Every structure is written in structure tokens, then in C-alpha cells.
Chain A
Amino acid sequence: DSGVTQTPKHLITATGQRVTLRCSPRSGDLSVYWYQQSLDQGLQFLIQYYNGEERAKGNILERFSAQQFPDLHSELNLSSLELGDSALYFCASSPFPRGATDTQYFGPGTRLTVL
């Protein structure tokens, strides 16, 4: 158990819909990262938040957005869903910038299926 929690575990929805994925980082970790894993693209970085502020963006679509709240949990919002958005979505957290290491610890993921 990494200490990172994600809800829900599974999500099935239809094209055009909007969903919200939730992540709670490990206690004390200030940074949250979102990754997407699809069959044809592998594990790809989407976006990073540090202490409530966006810090880095990767291959995140404009239809996707995220935020980190004062209690440090984060939400990834996916809208106007398409079949190709079906994937595993992982959240990771790290103590950056504090601590002697910047190791990222991953949650169990949310499996999104768009029908």
C-alpha cells in the first residue's frame, strides 16, 4: 500500500459525458501528479500540482483539467469524453520540494471505460 488513494476504482460512462477522478496523496506530500495509461500510448504524464498550484503540464488535452485543493487532494476532470479516453488514470504523490528524496508513489488507479 503506497498511501495514495484514488476513487473510484472503475468508471463506465458514455461518449460526450464528463467525469471527475479523485486522488488523496500520502500524508505530508505536497506534490500530486496525474498519469494516463492507454494500450497504445503507454504511461504518460498529464499534469503536476504543487501545494495547490499547477507546476507542470504534459500531454494533457484541453478537454481535461485538474486542480489541487487546500487539503492537498486533487481532482482530474475529463469532459466531452471520447472512446479514446478509455484508459487507466494514475495519481502519484511526492514530498517535493521537501525531503531527501523526490520519489513518486502511485495510487491504484481509476479504470475509465467510455462506451
Chain B
Amino acid sequence: DAKTTQPPSMDCAEGRAANLPCNHSTISGNEYVYWYRQIHSQGPQYIIHGLKNNETNEMASLIITEDRKSSTLILPHATLRDTAVYYCIVRVRTSGSRLTFGEGTQLTVNP
């Protein structure tokens, strides 16, 4: 699976959009970008995934650049409950394979 690079920490004001970047310059054609988050020692929570088109669900939007070498997770209206470590993971979707977690980004939403 391709390696990802994320900033170690970010801050966001409550009610504003949180934009979390991820670099995955070695991504290959059959690899998807997945995002998970972990709220203080709870089990990691699936957020969204995508291949090359932008994706949106009830939690977030995922924007993937045309060359697929980077992506941005957008939480449109961050709340205090969105404070968590966010992990960007690249993997082959249907492989049934492990998730390889990096260090992630600690997002802190401030009141």
C-alpha cells in the first residue's frame, strides 16, 4: 500500500470548515484513499473513501486531485465532537487486506 503524509496537528474554529490534507504521491491506479478518525481511544471510525472522483456523504467530503497524488478531507461545519485523530490510508479496496495506519492528524476544534 502507498505511503501517506499528513500534518501532525491542525486547529479549526467551531462551525468553520476543517480541511485536512493528505499526500500520497506513490499511489497506484487500483488504490483507493480511505479516511478514518479516532476519537480519544475509541475504535477508529470509517468516514469516507474514494478512487478519483470527489465523494460526499453525511459526514464529510473527499476531494482527490486529478493526478491522485493528494487529497483533502473536508468537514463542512466542524463541531467540538469532531476533535479526533484523522487517518488517511491508501489501499486496494477489494483486497480484504489490512489497514496500515500512520501517525494521522490531530484535529482540535476550538469553541
Contact = CB atoms under 8 A, between A and B. Distances in A.
Interface of A: 2, 4, 31, 33, 35, 42-45, 48, 50, 55-56, 58, 88, 90, 92, 94, 96-97, 101-109, 111
A89 to B, nearest CB: 10
B101 A104 contact: no
Given A101-B93, A102-B93, A103-B49, A90 B98 contact: no
Contacts of A94: 96
Contacts of B30: none
Instruction: Categorize the interface residue count of chain B.
Output: 20 to 34
A33 B87 CA distance: 18
Interface of B: 34, 38, 41-46, 49, 87, 93-103
B46 A105 contact: yes
Contacts of A48: 96, 98
A67 B98 CA distance: 17
B36 to A, nearest CB: 8
Contacts, number: 60
A102 B95 contact: yes
Given A44-B101, A92-B44, A96-B96, 4 more contacts: A43-B38, A55-B96, A97-B96, A106-B44
Contacts of A106: 43-46
16 contacts: A2-B43, A42-B102, A43-B99, A48-B98, A55-B96, A90-B43, A92-B43, A92-B44, A94-B96, A101-B93, A102-B94, A102-B95, A103-B46, A106-B43, A109-B43, A111-B41
A104 B93 contact: no
B94 A97 contact: yes
Contacts of A90: 43-44
